[in-house]
Structures are given as structure tokens and as C-alpha cells.
Amino acid sequence: MSEQNVLLKISNVRKNFAEVVALDGVSFEINSGEVVGLVGSNGAGKTTLLRLMSGVYQPSSGSVTLGNDTPVHLMRDNLGVVPESTGLYSRLTAWENIRYHSRLYGIDDTIAWKRTLKFAQSLDMEENLSRYTKGFSRGMRQKTALLRALAHGPKVLLLDEPTAGLDITSARTVRALVEQIKQEGGTVVYSTHQLFEAQQVCDRIIIIHNGVVKADGSPDELIQQNNCSTLEEAYVELTQEKARIRFEDSNKESGITKLWNRLFRPKTPHYAGEKELIESE
């Protein structure tokens, strides 16, 4: 594709955590209108890469830029992010969670509601928007997080294991929404360790193993380039090196979640009740 279609650019990125090298020399571009899958085992570096792409982390070296080579952390309002942990406020309804997030980006409630209602219909969530999220199932929480990420009209949607732990019906609904976004010209980065899922929803797959990009291409291209008959065979061929232990396992999940949620929020004044809401979680 031409240079003008490049939306997100990762250039020779390296990310260290003390002595651990999470990513090493990662480079690729994401074009407008693509659904790109990040595929790899636990510990491969997918979540670290997504956090770099969302501006939560900054690279130890290299760059992550959006649009006209602007560092991504300066353009977070162009991103919609669904982390592995949804981080919803249980005292708020689904719509109140979405509205609060949209207001932080300066989006009018009417615009946010129209976008929410449109995608809520696709996710079969219309009747649940007025319900408190405290009693939501995992699938309903994930759908609410998707609606929250889409309500401000982002240019790029970043999904971290969006169907992990979901039942079959909910997972199918999430994949159908990604397909809808693609048909409407949206751009999605879809992190997963499920090959069949990546093959279903992604135009292009980037295989990451032990912090290094091992392959980048369409499912058919990856199969042909490795003289294999299936994508699974190609993946096994490309990732023969023993997978490292997931270094993030030593961190407390609550700490990671707090870091993700707080750093990703735009720097805007908080309304008076936010402190109480955070403390209630």
C-alpha cells in the first residue's frame, strides 16, 4: 500500500524491563482499514507491544508513531483500547461507564450515545445499557468494554485477547463486530493466541515469539512461504525455539490493571466522585 495509508508505524522497537528484554527490534506498519492479528504464546510479547502501541509504555529504543510520525502517546484520543482486564466501575451502569469514558475525550453525550447504540445492537446489548455492571457476566463486561472503546470514534481499535474466557456465542458476537468494523473501513489490531480465530477475522497475521517478529503476512502467504498445508503447521515451524516464561506473571494483576487504566486516561480534570469510584473497585 502507499505511504499515505500507513496509520500506525512500529520502528525497530526494543522494550526492556530491568534485565528482561520483552521486545527486540520489532518493526512493522499497519495500514488504514486493516485487521491485523498479533499471534503468539503467553509471554511472546503481545501485551507489551499493545501497551506500547497505546502509549501506556514508551519504548526503550525505537519509536511507535501514529499518522504523520507523531509519537503515539501524544495522540491517545485516536485509539480505542480493550485491555485483557476490562476495569469497569461496578457502581455505574454500562452506559454510565461508556459516557464517563467519552466525556474524558470531550465527546458530546449525544454523539457517544448514537455510536454506542449502533454497536450495542450488533452486540445484543441494547437492553443491558441501563444495568449496573456489578452483576455482569464476563461476556457482558467484555461487550461493555468494546462499546466504551468505540464510543469516541477512534481511528485504531486495539484488542488484547478479546474473546478469552468467553462462551462460544459471546466470542462469535465479538468476532462479528470486528468484521463489521472492518467492512466500515475501520482499523483493528487483534491480539490472540488462537490461530483459528486470527485466521477467521484477520487480513494479516504477525507472529511474535520470544519478543521477536517471526513472520508477517496473510494466512495464505504464511502457509505458502513455509511450505505447509495449514496455518498451525506454519506457526509450529516458525516458533520451534522454546518459549520463554511469561515474566509478567510475577507482577500482581491489580497493579498492572491500575497502571493500564490510569496511564491511558487523557489528562483532563476528574469529576468529584471519581476518587470514590476508584476506591470502590
The DSSP annotation for the chain comes to --GGGEEEEEEEEEEEETTEEEEEEEEEEEETT-EEEEE--TTSSHHHHHHHHTTSS--SEEEEEETTTEEGGG-GGGEEEE-SS----TTSBHHHHHHHHHHHTT--HHHHHHHHHHHHHHHT-GGGTTSBGGG--HHHHHHHHHHHHHTT--SEEEEESTTTT--HHHHHHHHHHHHHHHHTT-EEEEEES-HHHHHHH-SEEEEEETTEEEEEE-HHHHHHHTT-SSHHHHHHHHT-SPPPP-GGGGS-HHHHHHHHHHHHS-S-PPPTTHHHHHHH-
> And the C-alpha cell for 174?
465479538
pTM for this predicted structure: 0.82
* 135: in domain: no
For the range 261-266, what are the long-range contacts, defined as Cβ-Cβ under 8 Å and sequence gap of 24 or more? Answer: 261/83, 261/87, 263/55, 263/56, 264/54, 264/55, 264/56, 264/76, 264/81, 265/104, 266/76, 266/77, 266/104, 266/105
Inside any domain, residue 94 = no
Number of compact structural domains in the chain: 1
Is residue 131 domain-resident?
no
Per-residue pLDDT of the chain (281 residues; tens, 9 = 90+): 444 588 999 999 999 998 888 999 999 999 999 999 999 988 889 999 999 999 999 999 999 998 878 889 888 889 999 988 888 999 999 999 999 999 999 999 999 999 999 999 999 999 999 999 998 999 999 999 999 999 999 999 999 999 988 889 989 999 999 999 999 999 999 999 888 899 989 999 999 999 999 999 999 999 999 999 999 999 999 988 877 666 554 444 455 556 666 655 555 444 444 444 444 44
Task: Report the DSSP beta bridge partners of residue 9.
Answer: 29, 65
173 domain-assigned: yes
Q: Please give the grid coordinates belonging to residue 43.
A: 509471554
**Within a domain: 96:** no
Inside any domain, residue 63? yes
238 inside domain: yes
- Residue 132 maps to a domain: no
Q: Where in the sequence is the domain holding 208, given as residue range(s)? A: 3-85+154-267
Q: 187 — phi, psi (to 5°)?
A: -120, 130
- Output the domain CATH number for residue 249: 3.40.50.300
115's CB contacts (< 8 A; 6+ apart) are 150, 151, 152, 153
